[in-house]
Structure 1
Amino acid sequence: MPEDNPPPDVSPRAAVARRIAALRHARGLSLTALAARAGIGKGTLSELESGTRNPTLETLYALAGPLGVPLTGLVGDEAGRSVSDGVVDAHLLSVRTHDDGGTTEVFWLTLAPGGTRISPAHRPGTVEHFRVVRGRGHAGERGAEQGLGPGEAHSWPGDTVHTYGSEEGAEGVLVIETPGDVPGPS
């Protein structure tokens, strides 16, 4: 993965900027093409790549799909990294890269009260699993979300548009399994 281990003097924002730019170049995509595929503004993408804009979770997920990488492909695979968008706070607990290039990412997810986050489709074959530990929330394929309380879990195809949300706030563990050996976008 490009820039997996940036120099220690590089800020997390600068490391994300380098990863996005390196992946975009490796895929032969222009700023305009990647921005269009991700559904974000070209100016936003330019600011992210220059390190002058803080990336939100929503924007990172929007970019990860067209770049063909899991979220940790953009934020790094160091445990303890966090990214938030005001509705969802994702704190990386662990990531494992498998022999076939697939990954299993484990996040502690905190859902803010009264919010719902729509997540774009991830790489083909991705599967997500969410287990609520505290509070009540809902998650799953958009239009087929499941309500979940403490100890309850739900799994769904992560390669479809899906949502996370809670009326009262919730916390739990999210596992994202991304397959390997799947050709990236052209």
Structure 2
Amino acid sequence: MSDDFEDVLHAVGPRLRALRRHRGLTLADVAGTTGVSESTLSRLESGQRRASLELLLPLARAYGVPLDDLVGAPRTGDPRIHLSPIRRHGMTFVPLSRRPGGMQAYKMVIPGADPPPVPDHRIHEGHEWLYVLHGNLRLVLGELDLVLPPGEAAEFDTSVPHWLGTADGKPVELLILFGRQGERAHLRARTR
């Protein structure tokens, strides 16, 4: 086995320990989340146990980091982000973040079309924050029927029946932050 490979394996343990401590977690916390025993986690962190894909995948998922970060894989050097649009309910969603779990960021494009007189409300788990970039967004939230022009933002619990669409038949572009477990976007403003 090459020295480079051994160096990578020896660096995994300290990296795991630092990540766990940085998050303020105990071995018991991580064991409860991943299903990996505390003793195995301790041996991994101390270098007494060799890291395997079977152990690293649940840890990467629990810490919300790419597997490459756990093993210290070198960056590719290509700074471009290759986005893969998702089409759902006639709209296009472009994922802007790739972190598993937690808050997710999307650019959403709603095509031009005549808005329905009675929109089909949806509900799901989570919390959403949106910012209109272009066009006029129609946001139906429970009993409220709002029009948001460019530059306006909204935040709401997605368990409230809601619908997003064009207000005037023209395309709409917006940024969306979405937290699956009800995480809210925390906005802080400083006064000068």
Choose 1 or 2 for highest CA Rg: 2
The TM-score range, normalised by the shorter chain, is 0.3 to 0.5
TM-score (norm 1): 0.45
TM-score by length of 2: 0.44
| Bigger strand share | 1
